[in-house]
């Protein structure tokens, strides 16, 4: 029982003991005997004490109300946040990466527990955190009971702020009583997102450091890419899945860093949207200069498959597999992990404009964001299929 709960209980007990409303003088004039008057006097005193205690409780409640903070999230919702936030639950993978990079000590767990091959690229103290499933997005597996069992002070989601996600946030917040905020997952918003969450959970200094790194990286790449005429920018296809036939359309969070890195997304010529299935004939018609893939089996199969071997990117050996440890560099998820992917892509497309060796950039990024010091062997493992020719 908290101190406030104790006070409320005591007030209730005192009120139950003071049901006689007579004042001492009125009790005597009413013909009540001396012992009865003494009891009445005691009850009167107790009622005065109760009034004082009630005033104290009201003051405590007012203090609690003042300590809570209204926060306007990325969807324009006003959410009341506790003054002190020490336990945070990420609703989906992008939020999980954001929280890990900013404040791993405040995580209540992982959306998905790290796999054995991912753990060497993560801080040791986070290896044993539980996996609780995802509240949002495709394949959501978490439930209200799982959320309540972890006792978070705050739930954070990062990504789309469309009405579907607003409705989910409102529903979970109502069911659990836990504040649930939405933050815009757009790549350009990363610095702002870091600063907002850092202020919210008491990590403003760390957030400012990561936000500054993001701003510098974006600005340097934007400046360099701006010197390249549109006609000279490579046409790129991003193939997801074992057959490589899922991609991101115009406006998709999953492919937005292509344009930022100075490429033209061949799938952006149609309607805007998120991820979508495409046909082999569509990819053949696009005939991209470069192919980026997430799946190693798809990358290996392309060179031997007559359907793909005639495509320019395959003929010229410009098929690259995105690193995925501990998080994808391109998307998977489309979170702050894409910062290192942006530098990787820009270097692939324009090696003469980005002369710092990618290995150095990778080690610095992993040290700063992922809390690990990479060995030369780990760097080689990450970059093995990300920079060479297709095999």
CB contact set of 107 (below 8 Å; sequence gap of 6+)? 88, 90, 96, 99, 100, 126, 129
Give the distance, in angstroms, between the CA of residue 69 and the centroid of all CA atoms in the same chain: 20
pLDDT digits (tens, 9 = 90+) for 142-190: 788 989 999 999 999 999 999 999 999 999 999 999 999 999 999 999 9
Does 248 share its domain with 276? Answer: yes
Residues 245 and 290 in one domain: yes
Average pLDDT over residues 28-53: 46
**pLDDT value at 265 more than 90:** yes
3-state secondary structure of 219: helix
Pick the last residue of a domain from 67, 82, 117. Answer: 67
At 303 the pLDDT is: 77
Residue that is last in its domain, among 217, 252, 283:
217
pTM of the model: 0.80
Lowest mean pLDDT among 125-134, 240-249, 337-346: 240-249
Q: Does residue 195 share a domain with residue 279? A: no
Q: What is the CATH number of the domain that holds 317?
A: 3.40.50.1980
Average pLDDT over residues 76-82: 97
Q: Is the pLDDT of residue 365 over 50?
A: yes
Comparing 52-61, 334-343, 368-377, which segment has the lowest mean pLDDT? Answer: 52-61
- Asked if 302 contacts 312 with a C-beta cutoff of 8 angstroms, the reply is no
Indicate if 153 and 298 belong to the same structural domain: no
Do 52 and 84 fall within a single domain? no
293 and 258 within one domain: yes
Q: Quickly state the pLDDT bin for 137 (edges 50, 70, 90).
A: low
| Partners of 69 in beta bridges | 81
Higher per-residue confidence, 45 vs 363: 363
Structure tokens at 231: 């006609």
Residue 36's domain spans which residues?
3-67
Helix (H) or strand (E) holding 319: strand 319-321
The stretch 104-109 carries a mean pLDDT of: 98
> How many domains in the chain?
3
Residue-averaged pLDDT of the chain:
85
Judgement on whether residues 189 and 232 belong to the same structural domain of the protein: no
Dist CA 237 CA 341 (whole Å): 15
The confidence band for 47, taking pLDDT boundaries of 50, 70 and 90, is low
What is the spatial distance between Cα 280 and Cα 149, in angstroms, rounded to a whole number? Answer: 46
Q: Do 77 and 203 share a domain, yes or no?
A: yes
Confidence at 322, pLDDT banded by 50, 70, 90: very high
Of 50-64, 179-193, 283-297, the least confident: 50-64
- Let me know: does 111 contact 132? Beta carbons within 8 Å: yes
- Residue 391 in any domain: the answer is no
Q: Which two tokens stand for residue 43?
A: 């009850």
Contacts of 143 (CB under 8 A, 6+ apart): 133
Residues 6+ apart with CB under 8 A from 117: 325
The fraction of the chain above a pLDDT of 90, given in percent, is 68
Helix (H) or strand (E) holding 293: strand 290-293
Do 291 and 155 lie in one domain? The reply is no
- Judge whether 390 lies within some domain: no
């Amino acid at each position: 029982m908290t101190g406030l709960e104790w006070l409320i209980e005591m007030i209730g007990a005192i009120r139950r003991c003071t049901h006689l409303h007579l004042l001492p003088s009125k009790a005597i004039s009413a013909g009540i005997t001396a012992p009865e008057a003494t009891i009445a006097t005691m009850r009167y005193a107790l009622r005065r004490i109760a009034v004082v205690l009630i005033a104290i409780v009201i003051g405590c409640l007012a203090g609690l109300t003042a300590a809570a903070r209204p926060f306007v999230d990325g969807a324009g919702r006003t959410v009341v946040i506790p003054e002190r936030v020490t336990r945070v639950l990420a609703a989906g993978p992008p939020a999980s990466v954001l929280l890990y990079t900013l404040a791993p000590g405040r995580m209540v767990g992982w959306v998905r527990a790290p796999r054995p091959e991912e753990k060497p690229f993560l801080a040791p103290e986070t290896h044993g955190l539980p996996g609780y499933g995802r509240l949002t997005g495709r394949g959501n597996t978490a439930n209200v009971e799982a959320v309540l069992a972890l006792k978070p002070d705050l739930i954070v989601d990062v990504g789309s702020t469309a009405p579907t996600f607003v409705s989910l946030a409102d529903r979970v917040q109502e069911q659990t009583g836990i504040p649930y905020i939405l933050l815009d997952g757009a790549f350009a918003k990363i610095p702002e997102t870091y600063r907002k969450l850092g202020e919210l959970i008491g990590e403003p200094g760390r957030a400012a450091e990561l936000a500054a790194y993001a701003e510098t990286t974006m600005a340097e790449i934007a400046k360099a890419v701006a010197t390249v005429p549109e006609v000279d920018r490579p046409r790129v296809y991003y193939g997801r899945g074992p057959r490589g036939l899922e991609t991101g359309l115009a406006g998709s969070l999953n492919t937005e860093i292509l344009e930022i890195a100075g490429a033209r997304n061949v799938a952006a010529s149609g309607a805007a949207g998120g991820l979508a299935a495409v046909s082999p004939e569509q990819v053949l018609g696009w005939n991209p200069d470069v192919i980026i893939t997430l799946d190693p089996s798809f990358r290996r199969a392309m060179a031997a498959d007559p359907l793909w071997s005639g495509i320019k990117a395959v003929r010229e050996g410009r098929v690259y597999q995105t690193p995925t440890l501990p998080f994808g560099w391109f998307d998977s998820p489309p979170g702050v992990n894409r910062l290192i992917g942006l530098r990787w892509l820009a270097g692939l497309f324009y090696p003469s404009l980005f002369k710092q060796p990618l290995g150095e950039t990778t080690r610095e990024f992993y040290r700063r964001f992922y809390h690990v010091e990479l060995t030369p062997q780990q760097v080689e493992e990450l970059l093995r299929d990300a920079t060479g020719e297709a095999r």
